Chain A
Amino acid sequence: MSISPEVLIKMAKLIGAGIGCIGFVGVGIGLGNIFKAMVSGIAQNPSEKDNIQTAAMIGFALTESVALFTLLVIMLIIFVV
């Protein structure tokens, strides 16, 4: 049996999209690091809670954006060639 080219391309797209999900590992580790530093910072210095929380929120949003760039690339692979 032979596989037609369109089916082969679709297969390859889906495999590529699955392999691309490996990128989320780094984002998970990074987010854990940010909140670990935030928790230990508040524990050591409770009077600076507002500053630490503000910095942690900025770090969270910037790291989350890497995860969303990866998600964008995966969607581009599946839906746009």
Chain B
Amino acid sequence: MKSPMDQFSVYNILELKVFGLDISITNSAVYMLIVSFLFISFGLVGVLKKNTAYYILKKTFDFVENIAANNLKKDYKQYLPFLTSLFVFVLLGNIIGIIPYSFTFTSQIVITLSLAIICFLISVVIGLKKNGIGFFRIFFPAGTPLYLAPIMIPVEVISFVSKPISLGLRLFVNMIAGHIMIKVFAMLSLKFSPAVGIIPFILIICLIIFESLVAFLQAYIFVVLTAMYIESSRNLH
């Protein structure tokens, strides 16, 4: 009997080795390429012929612009391409796992943690560029008495360093939990006769609906938190 964790195994499809580095194409890389190709072709078709694809794309862009305008108080237009591509990548990566026999690449800790660390480093570099060395005022909020400094600074540093870890871990665990629950109920449904096995099957349908809501919500939360971190390192809160 296969275990519920078998669906997350990454295997090589095409072996490539460049100067001793292993950059073989795995199944997770194939799905990342599928997702990027989907978005690019959707965008090209929508812009060249103004049909439904154009309006879906416009709705997505307006949604992300809403997020940016609410969280980044001014000069938010320069971050829109980055936030939009991040949103579409994470959203499509989460949703493509609902198709049977496919692979959710955001359920790999490597991918979500790398994405989160990149977004966090972007916010740190933006803060350093805008504020110079005064960026480190973020660990010591203005107006606190000096004798609180030995307690406040370690606490602020720890909470600052835990931002990328929690960002990546949140996306990873949400995706893994949904998929494991579905597989466990599927195994339960197989153990009984078909007449009794229909009950876990209906539960699986409800779980898939819930999991698609969680996919959308987690993509939204990822982009909202990235925008908040950029804003908090820009005006030092």
| Chain B residues bordering chain A, tally (CB within 8 A) | 11
A-chain residues with CB within 8 Å of residue B224 when the two chains form the complex? 58
Q: How many A-B residue pairs have CB under 8 A?
A: 28
Nearest chain-B residue to A72 (Cβ)? B173
A33 within 8 A of B: no
With A58-B224, A65-B174: A72-B218 Cβ-Cβ less than 8 Å: no
A73 → chain B closest CB, angstroms: 10
Also in contact, A71 and B173, with CB within 8 A (given A58-B224, A65-B166): yes
Q: List 22 A-B contacts (CB under 8 A).
A: A57-B220, A58-B221, A58-B224, A60-B217, A61-B170, A61-B217, A61-B220, A61-B221, A62-B221, A64-B174, A65-B169, A65-B170, A65-B173, A65-B174, A68-B170, A68-B174, A69-B166, A69-B169, A69-B173, A71-B173, A71-B177, A72-B169
- Chain A residues with a Cβ under 8 A of chain B: 57-58, 60-62, 64-65, 68-69, 71-72
- B residues at A contact (CB < 8 Å): 166, 169-170, 173-174, 177, 217-218, 220-221, 224
